[in-house]
Structures are given as C-alpha cells and as structure tokens.
Chains A and B, each alone.
Chain A
Amino acid sequence: MNSTFQFISFSDPNVLFVVLGTMILGASAAIVGCFSFLRKRALVGDAIAHSILPGVCLAFMVSGSKNPFYLIIGAFITGWLSLLLIDGITRTTKIKSDTAIGIILSVFFGVGILLLTSIQHSGNAAQAGLDKFLFGKAASLTKDDIYVFSSIAIVLVIVVVLFYKEFKLISFNPDYAKVIGLPVRFLEFLLATITVLAVAVGIQAVGVVLMAALLITPASGARFWTDKLSTMILIATLFGAASGFLGSYISYIAPAMPTGPWIVMCLSLLTIGSIWFAPKTGMLSKFRVQKENNRKILIENVLKLFYHLGERTNGFKDERSTTALLETRDLRIKELQRGLNLLKQSHWVRKKGENWVITESGLTEAKRIIKLHRLWEMYLNQRLKLQPDHVHNDAEAIEHIITPQLEIELEKELNYPTKDPHESIIPYNE
C-alpha cells in the first residue's frame, strides 16, 4: 500500500518521468495505430519497428552519443526507407505485400543486430544501454526523453486533427479521394511519416519486438466499443495511455518486473476484455443472445406439445402428464421440466397435482406458434415450390423468429390460407 502511495504521489521525479513517458508513447502509438488498423496495414508497423534498429545504431555510430534527438532522426530515416522499399517491391515486382513486409523486416533487423553487436564490441563506453532498444527501456526514461516525446506527440496530434477527415477518406476509399483531386500522395506521405515517428518514439518504451502491439492492439480493442471513428480514436488513446500507466505501476511495485512487456500485457488484457465484454459486438453479449434464443425455442416447443396433444384428443385444456407430453416429441425429460417451469413463470401453464394444464393465454401463444409454423410451410410450398414432405424441418426453426409484422405480410401474401400443405388446420386467433 505504501509503495502505491509513493507511486501515485510521484515523490520520486524519476517515477513521474517514466509514467508520463509511457503514457505519452502509448497514446501517440494508439492514435496513428487506428489508421494503420483501418487501412489493414497492421504488419507494416511491425516492419517499421524492426527497420528502426539499424537507424538507431547508425545514428549512434555517426554522432557518438545516445542523445534521443539524434537517435530518433536515425530511426526515422531507416524507418521511412523500409516503407519506401516495401512499397517499391510490391509495385515493381510480382512479390505481394505480405512477403515484401517479411523480407524488409528481417533484412533490416538483421543489419540492425549486426551493427549493434559491432558497436558493443567496439569498446566505446557510451554504448552501454543501446541494446535496450530491443526490449525497451521504459524504466529509465529521463527528462530529456520526455521533452522529445511530448513534442513529437504534440506534432502528431496536430497533424491528425488537421487532416482528420482526409485521413478518414483515404483509409476508407483512397480511389475516390484521388478522383476528387485530394493530394492523396501527400496525405499518405504524412500518415506514413507520423506512423514512423510514433514507432520511433514508441520503441523506447517497449522495444522493437513488442512495438506492433502498441500500435495495433489499442485500435483493435477500441473498435468493439463504437462505430464512430473519432470515438474509436479516443478510446484507443485512452487504452494506450492507461496501459502505459498500469505497466509502469506494476513494474514499480514489483521491481523485478520489466515495464515494456507489462505495458503490452495490460494492453492485451484491455483488448481481450473488449472482445468479451463490449455491448452487442462482444462475445458475452453474443452468448447471451444465443442463450435467449435457446430459451425461446424451448418454451415455444413445449407449448406446441400441448397444442398437438389437444388436436389429437379434441381437448386443448386437458391435463397432461409429462410422459404424455414426451410422446409427441423427441425431448429429454430434463429439458421438458425446465421448459414447463419457465412456462409456469409466464402463467402459460399451471400445475395440477402431478399433471400440467395449458392456460388460456398459453393456448393463445401456442396457436400463434402453430400458425406461424404452418404459414411458413405453406409459403415454402407455394413460393419456393418445395414438396409438402420437405417443409417441416425448415418451419421448425423459422416459426420462432417471425415477427408480428412479417406474420401479417405472410398472411396477406398467402391470402389467409386455412390449411397447411399437410391439410392441418391453421389456427387463427379470433
């Protein structure tokens, strides 16, 4: 608890730098990542991240210092070069973009590791810590880093705000943007530039290997919560910043824990959470709909048992034992019990001793379902020209989903038939 307080109070300025730094990085990457995600260029971010390593090494070799400003310039140059090469390869050769990305990513990364190893063996004392670019060095961010990161983040946000609507269009339909005369090449250049920038600063926190996660996961998680691009970008930014905060917090209270990987872990949890819990699009809400459907099908099928027995014996309201009910349909006894209990809650059946009786409102409901079933059989028979012995199974499913509105349309279109294709009477409620 004590360390939590120390963390939140930022009594140690270094903690403040780390937290601010990772939050800014997470947020910047998330903003541009939304466009990479929507343009289906998720892997391009990965390629840029790997291609940045040789740039960082070269910048160090030329400048001889680890000043973040020089390193970012180096990173920017090779990052951009990789983009140009991927684009050039796909345009001029038969190689498709996924292969081009794979080639560039590994070649650049290979060169980067080569340079890094040679620097490490050069005996230059200033090189210590350069290898942090591989896995990030979030825990040792300094004041200078924060200045560089926040200026880049500000530039990035300004560019996205200014060109928001154009970026939206080129992400959705670039051909249309070209036809109406927008400077698409310039816009793409701009978008690519801010992506390279975001990656170049982002790898300082999580490193080359995990960078793609910082770029793409916030966007993919945010997409579940909204259908509006501006809201999606906001949520993604929040995810990015929150993961930065949580990642640094976890690595603070558990000192053996690395910050970068924890940032990515938090992001992944947020995204997995979104996949599960998002309203409507989330898995949980899909399960709920499925469960609701199954419930509806079960109680409607049990109601139909009463009706079918009633048709046979000419007494709809007679008492029925569970054994009698089970005779007309292949249903497990447990399912039947569950259906009957659910029906009882809606007062569509009531219990009499050991037996069950359908109520007046239950009978009305049963008639409605039987009617839909038989109307649908009629429709299949007449409109889809299906033989009467081929229509039953289809109607078993469709009867549960037809809305009152469609019911009226069906009746009209079939001209209020009185019998289904098997000559059973279609019950209309008076």
Chain B
Amino acid sequence: MISIETHNLTVSYNKRPVLWNIDFELPTGSIVGIIGPNGSGKTTLLKAIMGLVPTSSGYVKIFDKDLADVRQRISYVPQRESVDWDFPASVMDIVLMGRYKKANLMKRISKADLEIAAEALEKVNMLEFSNRQISQLSGGQQQRVFIARSLAQGADLYIMDEPFVGVDAATEEAILNLLSDMKKEGKTVVVVHHDLQTAKDYFDWIVLLNTRMVAAGPKDEIFKEELLQEAYGGKLNVLSKVGDLMKEKAFNVREK
C-alpha cells in the first residue's frame, strides 16, 4: 500500500519554482529518508505534503486520500529551531499538544490524554523531565519532546524535519530505536536528513532531491555513485535559469 503519493508536485516562492515536478510513491511501513544538499527543497517538500505551503501544480495523496480527510493520521515533528523554546510551558504541556484535535476544541485535557502523554514521554526516556520548563532542556532533549508530542498523537504517518541535527548520541540512539519500533508497528516515517554518511544505515527507502527529484526507491537502488553525484553535483543550469526567468517575468508554472 502507498503512504504518500506526490504527482507532478511543483512549489514556487515568488513564482520561482523551488521544487519541480516531484513525482513519487512511498510504501507504507517503511522508514523513508529525504536526502539532498542544502537548499534542495527538502523542508519545502515536507511542508507541501502537509499543506503548509501552497503548491503551484500537481497534487499530494496520503493513504490514497486528500490531506483534509487524513489529517488526524499524520503527525509532524518540526525542526527544533522553528519555535521559541523560551515559551512559558513545561515538557508535559508540549507533549499534551499532541492530543489536541479539532474535535477537542474548547474541551479540557482528559485523564486518558495525560496517560497517553506520559507513555509517549517514557518512550523517549523523558518522563522524569515532565515538569521541567522547556527552555532548560538540551537540544537533544527538546528534539525528544517534539517526538513525544508526535507519538502522543497516535498517528500512522510521521513526518520529521531534521531530527538528527545537533543532538547528542543518547538522543540519536533513542530516535533510531523509536524508528525501528514504529516500523514494526507498520507505521510510516518520513525523515528529512542531510547527512549522506548515516543515511544508508538509518533508512530503507530514499528520495534523492535537488530542486527536482533525482531518484526515489529502496536504498540499495539509490545509493549508487552516479545518482549521488547527480544529486550533489549542483543544480541543473538551464532549470535554474528558467526558474529565474519565471520570477523575473512573474510567470506561472501552468498556463492558466
């Protein structure tokens, strides 16, 4: 079964396409790495999949459905630096956010929610920090709190943006253990990752990205010299020039 399908997905900022015609299908129950050099559009791809940035063409299907119908089954672990950790909240407060849903609007947090959140914290070895103010956590601990929040949601598809950046060895190991547990439970995890060295050990399916999709498939098919060379060998010259032109002339990627 297919977890995420993107069909000719193009995303532009100020008319300049930053992702060109991304087209792939990811299997369920696998750990997928989205790999590419800096500025290759990895985070943008995640955001487009989750509907956080507008797309200029193409579509995304998740579990064969539109995003709006499956939101509850998707969980997001944003980049750690994308929020202000000086916010007045405890670790538990943040993890409980994973239990918020549209149906719970205006309702109080229930006892069951608290139990689920505690369980999620235990899975990332952070239960003893429940009452800690979030600004007092180390980078790795903050990352684990974000992952616990996403676990508390009880989703089927997990989307993580650079969870391994700037974390300590203990956190890295905790995340890797979690990934393999999730795989056993049949969950799909999509991870943006920039380190080619570790990618082969972490993931079993790879999407190679550099503003366009270079390749997608099982890792053994993707980890080939010529494909990696292509992805990391710089942007396509003509493609970037066309992109620049579109920005300059305020041209849309589709005729109408």
Contacts and interface: CB of A to CB of B under 8 A. Distances in A.
A and B are partners in one complex rather than unrelated chains: yes
Interface stretch (A166-174, A210-218, A243-251, A286-294): A166-174
B105 A166 contact: yes
A15 B105 CA distance: 41
B157 to A, nearest CB: 11
A172 B134 CA distance: 12
Contacts of B101: 180-182
B50 interface: yes
Interface in B159-195: 159
B179 to A, nearest CB: 20
A173 B51 contact: no
Contacts of B71: 179-181
A173 B102 contact: no
B88 A228 contact: yes
Given A173-B97, A229-B88, 14 more contacts: A163-B105, A171-B87, A172-B94, A173-B83, A175-B76, A176-B76, A177-B100, A178-B51, A179-B51, A179-B71, A180-B71, A180-B76, A180-B98, A228-B90
B235 to A, nearest CB: 24
A328 interface: no
Contacts of B90: 227-228
Chain A at the B interface: SS class? helix
B72 A181 contact: yes
Contacts of B47: 175
Interface in A308-323: none
Given A165-B100, A180-B101, A183-B102, A173 B78 contact: yes
Say which size band chain B's interface belongs to.
20 to 34
Contacts of B51: 178-179
Nearest to A223: B88
A165 B117 CA distance: 15
Contacts of A163: 105-106
Contacts, number: 84
21 contacts: A38-B88, A168-B89, A172-B83, A172-B84, A172-B87, A172-B89, A173-B83, A175-B47, A179-B159, A180-B76, A181-B71, A181-B101, A181-B102, A182-B100, A183-B102, A226-B88, A227-B88, A227-B90, A227-B133, A228-B90, A229-B93
Contacts of B105: 163, 166, 182-183
B73 to A, nearest CB: 10
Contacts of A177: 100
Chain B at the A interface: SS class? mixed
Contacts of A162: 106
Interface residues of A, number: 26
B236 interface: no
B237 interface: no
A178 B49 CA distance: 12
A180 B89 CA distance: 20
Contacts of B76: 175-176, 179-180
Interface in B187-216: none
Given A179-B76, A181-B101, A182-B100, A38 B87 contact: yes
A176 B89 contact: no
B238 interface: no
B112 interface: no
Contact of A179 (B52, B82, B87): B52
A372 interface: no
B87 A175 contact: no
Interface string A100-120: 000000000000000000000
B90 to A, nearest CB: 7
* 6 A-B pairs closest in CB distance: A181-B71, A227-B133, A179-B76, A162-B106, A229-B88, A179-B50
Interface in B106-122: 106, 109
Contacts of A166: 100, 105
